[in-house]
């Protein structure tokens, strides 16, 4: 067993980021999912030895970790952040940095850097300046920088966030290969990644583990797959707008740039006609899918992108809905959740 956490909490002044986490991690790929701000990154930092718990017990390989022996944990664990930082200089310098700190002989450093660049599918890039790399290449170099140290545990915070499908696929392939020789813990909104790679998934909410199990057993996986959209956000005069395919959505978070958002199916109101409402988002389109489960009907509506709304079977029948029927959907700006 690599990790044992008992009653671990972490507070930042009045904010309690983690609340009584009980968790064991063995030789596995563990996925951590949850909305922004629920404690995923904080948990990774504690596992990496970058943060100390406010309360509770953290053990690694049966050794209790305290503020005095964090170095023991850091020697065995490496964390990759969502936005990697690099030293000035080329790819070789950045990957070799950790090995040089460990006083590794230069011929071995050269051999190991070349080997790990092959692992992340970037052969021949050793002398490219890191500032000239694409976002996907930077993330793969960050992965190489971690793997070259041969850690027992690899921790990743949103490793494929905002990457193109090609680079995301390469990173997933590398992680699948590396899972044969090390423990991997991934905090992510990439649900296909969790479903394909993870042996076990934790669903965090407000600093607490709500669900835990194999990907196919965790209901949050299904909930998270509905109405998730990437897009470009702008914030003007106190209003945020995200462009998603052919439509624009209003939401409340003051952010700029690339984001991913989620709208819960139960927060979407269906109506036959345009309605007077305080909801900032209202669109119209045809019904393109209907699925019933346990008395609940999921109605897919194409309004330029496809939204799925949840209603009761009784409401579905009373509204006389059917495939191809034009219908309105509406939801509040506060119902748009930033991932």
Domain-terminating residue out of 167, 195, 224: 224
338 domain residue, yes or no: no
CATH number of the domain to which 84 belongs: 3.40.50.300
339 domain residue, yes or no: no
Claim to verify: residue 57 and residue 84 sit in the same structural domain: yes
Residue matched to tokens 């019904």: 287
240 domain residue, yes or no: yes
Claim to verify: residue 68 and residue 100 sit in the same structural domain: yes
Largest CA distance in the chain: 76
pLDDT given at position 296:
80
Domain-terminating residue out of 172, 197, 224: 224
Claim to verify: residue 212 and residue 238 sit in the same structural domain: no
Which tens digit of pLDDT belongs to each residue from 180-231? 999 999 998 777 788 889 999 998 988 999 989 988 777 667 666 678 888 8
Claim to verify: residue 262 and residue 199 sit in the same structural domain: no
pLDDT given at position 329:
94
What beta strand segments (E) does the chain contain? 3-12, 15-25, 29-33, 55-60, 63-64, 77-80, 153-157, 183-187, 200-205, 208-213, 228-236, 239-244, 247-251, 257-263, 269-271, 281-293, 296-302, 306-312, 326-331, 336-338
The conformational region for residue 7 under phi > 0 = left, psi -120 to 50 = alpha, else beta, is left
Query: Which tokens go with 170?
Result: 């390469």
| Residues 328-339, mean pLDDT to the nearest whole number | 87
Claim to verify: residue 232 and residue 212 sit in the same structural domain: no
Domain that holds residue 47: 3-224
Q: Is 42 exposed, middle or buried (0-12, 13-18, 19+ CB in 10 A)?
A: buried
The whole-angstrom distance between residue 220's C-alpha and the CA centroid of its chain comes to 13
Claim to verify: residue 317 and residue 184 sit in the same structural domain: no
Which tens digit of pLDDT belongs to each residue from 59-114? 999 999 998 899 889 999 999 998 888 888 999 999 999 999 999 999 999 999 99
Claim to verify: residue 151 and residue 275 sit in the same structural domain: no
Query: Which tokens go with 32?
Result: 């951590």
Structural domains counted in the chain: 2
322 domain residue, yes or no: yes
Q: For residues 233 and 215, what is the distance between their CA atoms, to the nearest angstrom? A: 30
User: Is the Cβ–Cβ distance between 182 and 11 less than 8 Å?
Assistant: no
CATH number of the domain to which 317 belongs: 2.40.50.100
Query: Which tokens go with 298?
Result: 């999921």
22 domain residue, yes or no: yes
User: Is the Cβ–Cβ distance between 97 and 145 less than 8 Å?
Assistant: yes
Q: What percent of the chain has pLDDT over 90?
A: 53
Claim to verify: residue 204 and residue 249 sit in the same structural domain: no
The pLDDT of residue 1 is above 80: no
Claim to verify: residue 195 and residue 253 sit in the same structural domain: no
Which tens digit of pLDDT belongs to each residue from 245-283? 878 888 888 888 888 888 888 889 999 888 777 768 999
Residue matched to tokens 């109506």: 271
Q: Is 256 exposed, middle or buried (0-12, 13-18, 19+ CB in 10 A)?
A: exposed
Q: For residues 315 and 266, what is the distance between their CA atoms, to the nearest angstrom? A: 13
Claim to verify: residue 218 and residue 109 sit in the same structural domain: yes
Q: For residues 161 and 6, what is the distance between their CA atoms, to the nearest angstrom? A: 30
Query: Which tokens go with 130?
Result: 């890191």
| Residues 116-133, mean pLDDT to the nearest whole number | 94
Q: For residues 89 and 238, what is the distance between their CA atoms, to the nearest angstrom? A: 40
Question: Of 1, 12, 83, 84, whose CA–CA distance to 46 is shortest?
Answer: 12
Claim to verify: residue 131 and residue 85 sit in the same structural domain: yes
Domain-terminating residue out of 224, 251, 278: 224
Claim to verify: residue 246 and residue 212 sit in the same structural domain: no
106 domain residue, yes or no: yes
């Amino acid at each position: 067993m690599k990790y044992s956490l008992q009653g671990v909490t972490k507070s930042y002044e009045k904010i309690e980021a983690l609340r009584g986490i009980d968790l064991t991690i063995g030789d596995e790929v563990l996925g951590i999912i949850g909305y922004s701000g629920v404690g995923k990154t904080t948990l990774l930092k504690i596992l990496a030895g970058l943060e100390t718990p406010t309360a509770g017990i953290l053990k690694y390989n049966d050794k209790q970790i305290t503020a005095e022996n964090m170095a023991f944990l850091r020697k065995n664990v490496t964390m990759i952040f969502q936005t990697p930082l690099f030293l000035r200089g080329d790819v070789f310098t950045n990957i070799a940095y950790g090995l040089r700190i460990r006083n590794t002989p230069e011929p071995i450093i050269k051999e190991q850097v070349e080997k790990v660049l092959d692992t992340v599918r970037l052969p021949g890039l050793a002398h490219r300046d890191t500032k000239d790399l694409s976002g996907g290449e930077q993330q793969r170099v960050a992965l190489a920088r971690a793997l070259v140290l041969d850690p027992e545990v690899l921790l990743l915070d949103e490793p494929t966030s905002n990457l193109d499908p090609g680079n995301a696929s390469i990173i997933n392939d590398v992680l699948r290969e590396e899972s044969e020789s090390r423990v991997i813990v991934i905090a992510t909104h990439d649900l296909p990644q969790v479903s394909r790679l993870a042996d076990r998934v934790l669903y965090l909410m407000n600093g607490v583990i709500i669900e835990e199990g194999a990907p196919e057993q965790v209901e949050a996986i299904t909930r998270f797959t509905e109405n998730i959209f990437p897009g470009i956000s702008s914030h003007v005069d106190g209003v945020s707008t995200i462009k998603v395919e052919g439509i624009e959505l209003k939401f409340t978070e003051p952010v700029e740039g690339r984001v991913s958002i989620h709208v819960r199916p139960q927060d979407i109101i269906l109506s036959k006609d345009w309605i007077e409402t305080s909801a900032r988002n209202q669109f119209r389109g045809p019904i393109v899918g209907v699925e019933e489960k346990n008395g609940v009907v999921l109605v897919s509506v194409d309004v330029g992108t496809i939204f799925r709304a949840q209603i009761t079977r009784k409401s579905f029948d009373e509204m006389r809905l059917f495939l191809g029927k034009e219908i309105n959907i509406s939801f509040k700006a506060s119902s748009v959740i930033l991932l």
